Amino acid sequence: MSTDNQHYEELQKRIEQTSHNWASRIEGTDIVIAKGSGGTFPLIPQLQLDINTERYHTFIHELLTLLELEQPSLAKEYSLLRQSLHESLLKEWFEASVATNFFYFEEYAKNLSIAKWLPFFIAEHATRPFLQKLVLDHKEELDLADHQHGCVACGEPARLAIISKKGKKELICPRCNYSWQEKKISCAHCGTEDHTKIEILKLEGQENEQIHICDSCKGYTKVIDVRKMIKKESPQLLDHKSIHLDYIAQERGYGIPTKAVTH
């Protein structure tokens, strides 16, 4: 692993710790459903949500402070972003982030002449603890949904699964932490359970990692066996640590739909 990769992984770990800290600070009144009763999935993008924008703002500032320390070469860009983010924009940011509105954030970056990825990256990370809180509060309702085709909570396409301590295949969403069980031989994207269509790729020397590829829809899922792992890793960290599996799958022509298709 190169130094750059190590640095990147370290940074991800710090962001992860910060995010964990945020999740523990979120209170019930920080996110409330203003409109929408659920029943259709993915659930969260269809709700009108009121959040504690002051808390959201604090998360954004804390993340920028962390990045300023870790990546001083980008300090000017972080500072421009910090100054631009007025109180009145926070609700808009949150809503655009929930809807993964890349266009909104790219335009925002363009107006400030800063890196294209930056505003979305910041907004998305600060949004996740709110989504995670909603998932915790609505788990029972979410468990009743048809779980094919991606995360029924936030709409993120499925890409990561674990083989749990009980030996079950459990899809996990690195965005909102919602998880659901699935048959071992089944495609998380198109739902096929046809054994002739699904192939399990195993990597030499990496017994805990697999890629499930589907020849029906050309989709793939990374599957990590966590049974022998001593330390419990978060979905976000598992997702980052297994990025090499994404490269392998994509090199072979498999992909992940950009938006989950729900019925």
Residues lying near Zn ion in the complex (CB under 5 A) are found at 151, 153-154, 156, 173, 175-176, 178, 187, 189-190, 214, 216-217, 219
Q: Cα angle at 84 between 79 and 87, to 5 degrees?
A: 125
Q: Which is nearer to Zn ion, 133 or 189 (CB)?
A: 189
* Alpha carbon separation from 84 to 90, 93, 127 (Å, rounded): 11, 12, 18
Beta carbon of residue 153, minimum distance to Zn ion (angstroms, whole number): 5
Beta carbon of residue 103, minimum distance to Zn ion (angstroms, whole number): 21
Q: Which is nearer to Zn ion, 60 or 217 (CB)?
A: 217
Whether the Cβ atoms of residue 105 and residue 96 lie closer than 8 Å to each other? yes
Beta carbon of residue 233, minimum distance to Zn ion (angstroms, whole number): 17
For helices 3-25 and 118-137, what crossing angle results, to 10°? 40
Beta carbon of residue 162, minimum distance to Zn ion (angstroms, whole number): 15
Contacts of 28 (CB under 8 A, 6+ apart): 133, 137
Q: Which is nearer to Zn ion, 43 or 64 (CB)?
A: 43
Pairing of strands 198-203, 206-214: antiparallel
Beta carbon of residue 69, minimum distance to Zn ion (angstroms, whole number): 29
Q: Which is nearer to Zn ion, 85 or 217 (CB)?
A: 217
Q: Which is nearer to Zn ion, 122 or 217 (CB)?
A: 217
Whether the Cβ atoms of residue 176 and residue 128 lie closer than 8 Å to each other? yes
